[in-house]
Amino acid sequence: MQTFVTTFLLCVCLVESSHHHYPEGSSNDHDWDIFTFTQEWPVAVCVLGTKEHHRCAIPPDVRTWGIHGLWPTKTGTRGPTSCNSQLHFDFRRIQSLVPMMKVLWPNMYADTSMESFWEHEWTKHGTCASSLAATSNEAMYFQKALDLAGTYGVSQLLAKENIVPSTSRTYRLEEIEVALTHQLGARAKVECTKDERTGKMMLYEVEICLDKQFNPVDCYQPNGSSDYHSDCPNSDLEYPPLATSGFISPITGVNRLLGPMIE
């Protein structure tokens, strides 16, 4: 089990770092000014996980974009991270949140323990968020992220602009970015990963930037001064439905048994 958890945490670190284009902050600098609220499309998570030799299964209760994390961020960097080694993850403190977290913040890697994803996010990012009263302990941190998913859920934001999962329709990056800006009143970041089955890029993550009062703010400026460059192409972006992905677990509430079923 320890090997599974270690492998999972290493993989999550690589996934997080591979989709950011900002320098790391100093390990001793725990200053931050915004949150990066990151959500991920479950199909893309499993496509990426399969590339990294994980067994992946989307629980049938999962119907929307999932939370990746709520990350304290110093504008223009990827940090801070791992701010307090004394704030150990204690699963008992979020026990009452687990039913909702399984739906909104699922761990879809079937070869890792259910709580390993949450432990990683608390240790790396939650310990930094503890400096803010609204997220000052483990329960408050995870509850706030769940609340934000209700307010800024990407599935709803895109659906309001007629951008929905489809087996036949593809999208332009600009139309997705414009849709998010229209709904949020601020610029979000969009990232993609390659679907090896089709050779096309698919939507993977959306990062929404929030101030410390949890209001949307621009993640980047449109004048070219930002270091942000989406890894999505300008057009032909896939947004595949969950139901036809081949990754849905057939057993309600179980995402620890089956590997991906790809035709």
Residues with active-site annotation: 68, 121, 125
CA 62 from centroid of its chain's CA atoms: 14
Q: How far apart are CA 228 and CA 129, in angstroms?
A: 23
Which helix (H) or strand (E) element contains residue 202? Answer: strand 201-210
Q: How far apart are CA 230 and CA 191, in angstroms?
A: 6
- Nearest CA to 151 out of 174, 185, 120, 118 is that of 185
User: Could you tell me the two tokens for 131?
Assistant: 């400096």
- Nearest CA to 186 out of 11, 12, 36, 3 is that of 36
Q: How far apart are CA 152 and CA 162, in angstroms?
A: 16
Q: Which residues pair with 201 in a beta bridge?
A: 194
CB 163 within 8 A of CB 237: no
Q: Which residues pair with 207 in a beta bridge?
A: 38, 189
- Nearest CA to 214 out of 154, 167, 151 is that of 151
Q: How far apart are CA 250 and CA 58, in angstroms?
A: 9
Q: Which residues have CB under 8 Å from 48's CB, separation 6+?
A: 15, 193, 204
Amino acid identity of 27? Answer: S
